Structure 1
Amino acid sequence: MSVDKIFIKSFLNNFEEESFSVKLWDEEEIKVGQGEPLFKVTLNKPIPKKELLSSATLAFGEAYMDGNLEVEGDFLTMLNTVLKYKSKFPTDFKGLPKIFSNLTSQKKQKEEVSYHYDLGNDFYSLWLDETMSYSCGYFKNENDSLYDAQMNKIHHLLKKLNLNEGQSLLDIGCGWGSLLIEAAKNYKVKGLGITLSEEQYKKFKSRIKEENLQDYLDVKLMDYRELEKSGLSFDRVVSVGMLEHVGRPNYDLFMRNVSKVLKKEGIFVLHYISGLIESEGDAWMRKYIFPGGVIPSLREIISLSADYKFYTIDIESLRMHYMKTLLKWAENFENNIDKVREMFDERFVRMWTMYLYSCAACFNTGVIDLHQIVFTNGVNNSNPLTRDYLYK
């Protein structure tokens, strides 16, 4: 028996509480667990032991992208089953220096952001909703559409900002601008969005003109590190799904830059994917989806906030909302898969299928979470005493 086969069989012992089957490249079929198998995984080629020890998720992810790993049965069920045991997947962080680089220069981070977000507005518009919101939705009802959930999310965040007409609002990592557009329309605030993505900048710029909001909104190609010396100041700051790109060495720098532009008693709402504990991240995700991406834990952000006299007044988890959002995206992606294939090759299609469904499974199994935190810059006694205002 080959070393690779011995190691695969040993690795499968991690899942003995589940029930599925694995067909190996030599036609041998292994039954895992008891009861009727929920799904079947076929490995058409051996996965070398060395690759599995380097990073199991990277090895299996690449095998799926290359068509060497196939799944019979429900793909999401498979991912929900195996990702419950993600902590048992080996990763040699030191042995993958290019993937787990700690380089966080402005140039490097712009390249990393552009890698993901500049795939093209035509691509993202195939599976995002009309708002072009690329972050967790908020499902008030089980039957909410993706558009409903994204609009719910936007207005949930705007309520947490407790906006008043004439105030100023900064959106760090503004995406395609939907939050600021709604803020200007509903609260008559003056807003600035900053992004590193050329594609997002161009789209948001055109949307401002289309909505005739030039007197209220602007967007800049700008790094958050430029805020400290910008001379700008705002009554409110919001950041949605951007902190994950900052990198652990720069969390303190990020918080400092926010503190420099947020007025005293101002409100800062931070929305980001979080981890239960600190981690360097997943090798497959960092190599193929979000280069340089690191997920902060809740506790490290709360700890840092105190250094800048940010008072934490509200924390909310939207973990299950993100699972539902990702499944909506995956459904749209599959419904438009022929159009995606006209833009990209089959390996890319399989990669993004894995990305959307594996993220949904990671939220479902608690591998990752989504938190919204409301801070005030110093003491602010004017906020409502209860959370009732969020649900009116």
Structure 2
Amino acid sequence: MQSLLPKIESQLSALPVPITLQLPDGRQVAKPGSRITLAFTEWSALAKLATRQVGAIGEAYVEGRVQIEGAMRDLIDATVSLLPGNPAETNTTWWSRVQRRAKSRGSHSLGRDARQVEFHYDVSDDFYALWLDERRAYSCAYFRDANMTLAQAQEAKLDHICRKLMLKPGERFLDIGSGWGALLMWAAEHYGVDATGITLSKNQHAHVQRLIEAKGLQGRVRVELRDYRELDPAKPFDKISSVGMFEHVGAANMPVYFRKIHSLLVPGGLVLNHGITSGGLDYKQLGAGMGDFIEKYIFPGGELLHVTHVLRETAAAGLEMVDTENLRPHYARTLWAWSDALESQLDKAREVLRGSGGKQGENAERILRAYRLYLAGSAMSFEQGWIALHQMLSTKPDGKVDDGTIRGAQSQYPFVRDYIYK
């Protein structure tokens, strides 16, 4: 292991942030003015640093084999320089594509998807409440004004979606993967729609039920604990949204997902898909071990597709894309806001997780460490362009060429963007 030290010292000298390494034998390798300390208890974890496997170092931190002292923002600045290259580089061999397809097909049954959603979203409502805004909007905010707070930007996002969908009083609106109900409530209270949400998270379902009762919206808002594949197309919806959802669908199930949306939408209706997309055209996950870390500790079964892949599946299902918007840097700013909020109350977060009982309580420190790296690391990934966030608005053409605001529209979409920003 001694042979690793010259290589590691060379790496540290090139970093923009000075770092101190605490070696397993007690020695230190330090740069003057260090703002970050990595204390290793095992030589094997130190070897991962030498090979720039930052995901493996993250796993060692979660499991207690590495201690990290210092600010997450400084750690991320150092991490970018440690990476061996672009972690979103494409792997296009035919065998890798076959393997990914097979894994995707086996990872997204109704039962497995339910368990995977529970793994992430049912950690602890009180834990999420510590670092999300009051509405618990757990998706990319929209900083229409640079001076907006996170809460204001989340409301701007909710309204941006509702405007794009041209929601009107009395319309039947479906939110697929409705989370803690932020969009459901906003659409019902500000646009007068009859709103239905679906989720696989028991915690989120119970929370939204309480919101509906507290706001007296029992007649116009409902939330169901069900998979999108179980929805009945006999009563189609005028408008549909899916926010932070299709990342969990899986590449193999994309045709099923979009065909289901097509069947649930009235002719001429609108659907908006808002979700994370990959920065590479065809890759399994982020390299340098980062994708493996996310799969193990945060989003089991999550799969990212390039926006062109998503739009291809949209078209194949008979839906017409009419507007696509990339909000990538908005998500970086959103994630930094979440990360800063969590970092400012780490002791409270530990207390909340330990008090949640069950496996969450037993694994409180591991969960907290994983989320610290996940939030800051994801912010880095959006800033660097390794992943992106797209809003894709589509229609189900009704075949009525003479109707609509412009001949040939075949839908409610006016084919101008003015209505979104008025």
Q: What per-residue deviation string (whole Å, max 9, x for no partner) do you get for residues 84-135 of structure 1?
A: 64756699999x99xx774211100100000111112222112111111111
1:173 corresponds in structure 2 to 177
For 1:222-371, list aligned pairs within 5 A: 222-227=226-231, 229-277=232-280, 278-281=282-285, 282-342=291-351, 343-344=353-354, 345-371=364-390
* Distance (Å, rounded) in 1 between the aligned partners of 2:108 and 2:51: 24
* Distance (Å, rounded) in 1 between the aligned partners of 2:58 and 2:141: 26
**What is the Cα deviation at residue 54 of structure 1?**
11
| Compared CA separation, residues 79 and 286, structure 1 to 2 (3 A) | same
| Compared CA separation, residues 52 and 77, structure 1 to 2 (3 A) | closer
Which stretches in structure 2 are left out of the alignment for 5+ residues? 286-290, 355-363, 398-408
Which stretches in structure 1 are left out of the alignment for 5+ residues? none
Kept after mapping to 2: 8 A contact 1:318/1:370: yes
**What is the Cα deviation at residue 75 of structure 1?**
2.6
SS at structure 1 position matched to 2:367: helix
The alignment status of 1:213 with 2:217, answered yes or no, reads: yes
* Distance (Å, rounded) in 1 between the aligned partners of 2:45 and 2:39: 15
What is the TM-score normalised by the length of structure 1? 0.87
**What is the Cα deviation at residue 42 of structure 1?**
4.8
* Distance (Å, rounded) in 2 between the aligned partners of 1:194 and 1:381: 25
Find the partner of 1:59 among 28, 31, 56.
56
SS at structure 1 position matched to 2:44: coil
| Compared CA separation, residues 89 and 182, structure 1 to 2 (3 A) | closer
Q: What per-residue deviation string (whole Å, max 9, x for no partner) do you get for residues 116-163 of structure 1?
A: 111122221121111111111111222212211111110000001011
* Distance (Å, rounded) in 1 between the aligned partners of 2:412 and 2:233: 28
* Distance (Å, rounded) in 2 between the aligned partners of 1:80 and 1:388: 39
Q: Which amino acid in structure 1 is aligned with residue 74 of structure 2? A: T
Q: Which amino acid in structure 1 is aligned with residue 319 of structure 2? A: F
| Compared CA separation, residues 334 and 16, structure 1 to 2 (3 A) | closer
Greater shift after overlay, 122-131 or 109-118?
122-131
* Distance (Å, rounded) in 2 between the aligned partners of 1:264 and 1:202: 33
2:396 corresponds in structure 1 to 377
| Compared CA separation, residues 15 and 114, structure 1 to 2 (3 A) | farther
Question: Percent same amino acid at aligned positions?
Answer: 33
Kept after mapping to 1: 8 A contact 2:395/2:411: no
**What is the Cα deviation at residue 69 of structure 1?**
3.5
The alignment status of 1:29 with 2:33, answered yes or no, reads: no
Kept after mapping to 2: 8 A contact 1:52/1:90: no
Q: What per-residue deviation string (whole Å, max 9, x for no partner) do you get for residues 362-383 of structure 1?
A: 1111111111010111253542
SS at structure 2 position matched to 1:47: helix
Q: What per-residue deviation string (whole Å, max 9, x for no partner) do you get for residues 54-96 of structure 1?
A: 99243111222244444565432332443464756699999x9
| Compared CA separation, residues 266 and 310, structure 1 to 2 (3 A) | same
Kept after mapping to 2: 8 A contact 1:53/1:90: no
**What is the Cα deviation at residue 347 of structure 1?**
2.7
* Distance (Å, rounded) in 1 between the aligned partners of 2:28 and 2:211: 57
Kept after mapping to 1: 8 A contact 2:36/2:68: yes
* Distance (Å, rounded) in 1 between the aligned partners of 2:7 and 2:234: 60
What is the TM-score normalised by the length of structure 2? 0.81
* Distance (Å, rounded) in 2 between the aligned partners of 1:15 and 1:233: 61
Greater shift after overlay, 21-30 or 46-55?
46-55
| Compared CA separation, residues 340 and 39, structure 1 to 2 (3 A) | closer
Q: Which amino acid in structure 1 is aligned with residue 396 of structure 2? A: N
**What is the Cα deviation at residue 331 of structure 1?**
2.1
**What is the Cα deviation at residue 48 of structure 1?**
5.4
* Distance (Å, rounded) in 1 between the aligned partners of 2:13 and 2:218: 56
- Pairwise CA RMSD: 3.3
* Distance (Å, rounded) in 1 between the aligned partners of 2:107 and 2:13: 36
**What is the Cα deviation at residue 265 of structure 1?**
1.2
* Distance (Å, rounded) in 1 between the aligned partners of 2:332 and 2:59: 23
Q: Which amino acid in structure 1 is aligned with residue 277 of structure 2? A: S
* Distance (Å, rounded) in 2 between the aligned partners of 1:381 and 1:12: 61
The alignment status of 1:201 with 2:199, answered yes or no, reads: no
Kept after mapping to 2: 8 A contact 1:76/1:361: no
Number of positions where the alignment pairs a residue of Structure 1 with one of Structure 2: 383
Greater shift after overlay, 43-52 or 320-329?
43-52
| Compared CA separation, residues 352 and 50, structure 1 to 2 (3 A) | same
| Compared CA separation, residues 116 and 288, structure 1 to 2 (3 A) | same
* Distance (Å, rounded) in 2 between the aligned partners of 1:257 and 1:50: 48
* Distance (Å, rounded) in 1 between the aligned partners of 2:148 and 2:268: 35
Find the partner of 2:134 among 130, 133, 138.
130
**What is the Cα deviation at residue 177 of structure 1?**
1.1
Kept after mapping to 1: 8 A contact 2:7/2:50: no
Kept after mapping to 1: 8 A contact 2:141/2:154: yes
**What is the Cα deviation at residue 258 of structure 1?**
0.5
